[in-house]
Structure formats: C-alpha cells, structure tokens
Amino acid sequence: MEQKRILLVIGGGIAAYKSLELIRELGRRGIASRCIVTKAGQEFVTPLSVSALSGDKAYTELFDLDEEAEMGHIQLSRSADLVVVCPATADLMAKANAGLANDLASTMLLATDKPVLMVPAMNVRMWQHAATIRNVAQLRADGVTVMEPDEGAMACGEFGPGRLPEIGAIVAEIETQLNGQGQGALSGVHALITAGPTREPLDPVRYLSNHSSGRQGYAIAAALAAQGADVTLVSGPVALAPPRGVTLVKIETARQMLKACEDALPADVFISVAAVADWRPARAATKKLKIKATDAEAPAMELAENPDILKTLSNKRKNRPRLVIGFAAETHDVEDYARAKLARKGCDWIVANDVSGDVMGGAENEVVLITHDQSERWPRMGKEEVATRLARKIAAELGGDDGGIKLAAE
C-alpha cells in the first residue's frame, strides 16, 4: 500500500512546538510529513528540528531559487494527499480566506488542489472576533475542514476556546481525511458507543449525576470513525463537540440511553463507556421540592434501580453485537473488580481504569484491557491515544484469521 503523505504548514504561535509531536506521532502511523515553516513559525520551532523529525527538507521561502528548482511551490502544493495547517493562526486563515499569496504558505494554499485541514490555535478573543468567525465560516463553505479548538487555560493567562486540540484528536482527524469516510480497517463496521453521564431528575430543577466528562467515549468514537467505522454515539449531557462523521444521539437518563442503544442495533461492536447512574428517584416530582425551614430532618428519598445497559446488550439473544466492551471505573482493587464485572455482565472485554486521581474530566488515562484469558496493562497516556489503541485492537479482533472484517449482519 502506498504511503500516505501530508504537507504540514506550521504557523506562528506558541502551539507551534506541538507540531513536532504531531510529526512524530504521524510517523508512528506510517504517515509521512513534508513541512512548510512560516517566518513567524520559525520564532517557535527551527527548520532543522522539523527536518530532523520529518526526514525531509523543511521549506521556508517562496523566492528561493534552489527550492524552486528542486520542488517549486506549485508542485509542493500538490505533492501530498492532504494539506494540514497546524497551528492555523488567525493571520493564516485570513490570508487563505482572502486568497492572498505573499509568502510560501499562503501561495501554496491558493495553488493546491488537495483537501485542506486547518487546526486553529490562538487567543480566545482572537478566536471569538467577528473577523475570525467570518473567515472560518467562509473557509468551511469553500470546503476547508476547520477543527474546533479546545477550551482551557492559555499561555497568555486567559481561559476559553482557542487552545490547539489534543494531538491524538488531530491525528484521528488526519486519518479520517486520508482514509475517507467509510474506508479504512473498520470499513463496513457499525460501532455503537455510549459516553458521558446520565442525569436522573429529582424534580424539574435538581438531578442525580456524576463527574463524567465524556472525553474518553468521544475520543473512542473519533478513533473508530478514523478507521472507517460507521459510528453511533449515544451521549449524556457533555460540553464536547461531536466527532466529525459520527451520528450523535443525545439523551438524559439511563432509560433513554438503553432505548437509544436498542434502537441503534444491529451493531458489530458495542462499547459501554458512559458512566450510567445505577439508581434514580422512584418518583420524580413535577414541581420543585421545598424544604420547610422548621424541618429537623432531611427528606427521605426512595430509589429505583436503573437498567443495566451493558448486561442487557451482552445477553441479547437477537442482535447481540459480536464484540461487547465495558468500562470499569474503580478507585481500588481495579483489576479484581474489573474481572468480576466481566463475568457478571457477560461482555467480552473490560477496559478498567483507576479514577481515584484526576482521570474523571482529565486528559489522560491509565487502563488495563481485560479479556477472558488475559490482562494487558497500558501505560498512562492521553485519552485519544487510549482510543487509538483500542480501535486497533477492535479491528484486529473483528478481522479474524484471514484479516477481513466479519460483520454481525453476516
């Protein structure tokens, strides 16, 4: 199979240093990078470091006779399968939208006939400025894929949307672009995933829930889609944008989640990542509950057990997914509890993780993949990398001995 190649434009911003990690991670996946480093980008990374990691010359100047004789900006713009701008600064996106061509990067973007992926990173006020909003909207209308930046603390000390997305998420999007939707190792596979928390109402104002951010489930959905799977993501309330190419079904309660999963069957693989509330109030009040100031005791609450979604789908006689994977979030004796859960639920794999630290809502995870006959401990890594590893395991499992995917529908 011919090696995939991207043309990476490294813009000028503090996030430019992460482009080096991106080049390395793509290389691990067999994706080659040829790089353009803008003049502003060279303030943060050197062409030498880029060249050393990519194994190719780093291009910097439009008016360079040697570079024009060797490659030429027109040929350079068409030499890759995908053009990636990372970080995509407000300036680079403005130039691309206006069709300006006053340096190598902007000229290449104007001349290319290949798909373009832009990965923004900038100050929150720049990202939310009316000019940037207009530029992003027009670029998308013109067919450019512009990822949503992450939200969080920035080097400038402000907080909000504008951070470069996690490297794992960028890699997954690049793989999706290179493979094409519906192509890849999991082409033809229907993957059903649950993510996030459920909310069980006490009354119209209050509810029972948990701390799940949904990040691991959303990362798995993105990784499977990048491998060509047809992904249905059943999600509780989270503050995350759905991955590109994924069918999102929003729910609130555990009972709604179960119905959405059953409606989505048949599926070839089911991954139960959601942190589903085990219990719900037996009777939700139709009006806000009031507590009298004179009451000496807290009001009693009768609870009812929620459906066990993982166990229900694991034990289906009809339309049981070929591969059923559960998650076990534990604070101690992680592997013992997870193996017991594997037997109790009737699923095929359990991904166990210790949530006693900053895993819930954090960017990293440390897991143990448990099957009926072995345990495989993975080192602590980003949740996107966990998702990528799991997607590869799933592709290998469904592939069988002959390497071809065997689908549940067959």
Domain ranges of the chain: 4-177, 181-399
pLDDT score for 184: 73
**DSSP state, 165?**
P
Paired residues of 5 in beta bridges: 32
**DSSP state, 237?**
S
Q: Is the pLDDT of residue 409 over 60?
A: no
pLDDT score for 73: 62
Mean pLDDT confidence for 353-372? 76
* pTM, two decimal places: 0.65
Confidence of residue 359 (pLDDT cuts 50, 70, 90): low
* 394 is annotated as contributing to ligand binding: no
Mention every residue, 6+ apart, whose C-beta is less than 8 A from residue 234: 192, 193, 194, 195, 249, 251, 257, 260, 261, 264, 274
For 118, other C-beta atoms within 10 Å of its C-beta total: 24
* 383 is annotated as contributing to ligand binding: no
Dihedral over alpha carbons 255, 257, 262, 267 (to 10 degrees): -160
Handedness of CA 359, 360, 363, 367 (dihedral sign): positive
For 4-177, CATH gives 3.40.50.1950
Q: Is the pLDDT of residue 384 over 70?
A: yes
DSSP for 57-118, written as a single string = PEE--SS-HHHHHHT-HHHHHTSSSEEEEEEE-HHHHHHHHHT--SSHHHHHHHH--S-EEE
Q: Cα–Cα distance between 194 and 131 in angstroms, integer?
A: 37
Q: Cα–Cα distance between 340 and 351 in angstroms, integer?
A: 12
pLDDT digits (tens, 9 = 90+) for 82-141: 999 999 999 999 999 999 999 999 999 999 989 999 999 999 999 999 999 999 999 998
Q: State yes or no: cis peptide before 87, omega within 30 of 0.
A: yes
pLDDT score for 410: 41
- Any idea which residue has 């939200």 for tokens? 151
Highest mean pLDDT (candidates 16-30, 140-154, 372-386): 16-30
Q: Is the pLDDT of residue 356 over 90?
A: no
| % pLDDT > 70, the chain | 90
Q: Is the pLDDT of residue 155 over 80?
A: no
Question: How are the residues of the chain apportioned to helix, strand and coil, as percentages rounded to the nearest 5?
Answer: 35, 25, 40
- Catalytic residue numbers read 156
Q: Check if the beta carbon of residue 176 is closer than 8 Å to that of residue 252.
A: no
Q: Name the 3-class secondary structure at 229.
A: coil
Handedness of CA 409, 391, 15, 28 (dihedral sign): negative
pLDDT score for 34: 95
* 310 is annotated as contributing to ligand binding: yes
- CA angle, residues 248, 254, 260, in degrees to nearest 5: 40
Topology agreement, domain 4-177 and domain 181-399: yes
Q: Is the pLDDT of residue 358 over 80?
A: no
* 57 is annotated as contributing to ligand binding: no
Query: Exposure of 381 by Cβ count < 10 A (0-12 exposed, 13-18 middle, 19+ buried)?
Result: middle
Q: Is the pLDDT of residue 291 over 70?
A: no
SS (H, E, C) 335-356: HHHHHHHHHHHCCCEEEEEECC
> Longest Cα pair distance anywhere in the chain, in angstroms?
87
Q: Is the pLDDT of residue 75 over 70?
A: yes
Q: Look at 350 and 71; give whichever has higher pLDDT.
A: 350
Q: Which CATH superfamily is domain 181-399 in?
A: CoaB-like (3.40.50.10300)
Q: What is the mean pLDDT of the chain?
A: 87
Q: Cα–Cα distance between 119 and 10 in angstroms, integer?
A: 10
Mean pLDDT confidence for 77-86? 90
Q: Is the pLDDT of residue 404 over 50?
A: no
Confidence of residue 403 (pLDDT cuts 50, 70, 90): very low
pLDDT digits (tens, 9 = 90+) for 251-273: 999 999 999 999 999 999 999 99
pLDDT digits (tens, 9 = 90+) for 52-63: 999 999 999 887
* 341 is annotated as contributing to ligand binding: yes
pLDDT score for 25: 92
> Which one-letter amino acid corresponds to residue 85?
V
Mean pLDDT lowest among 167-171, 253-257, 285-289, 372-376: 285-289
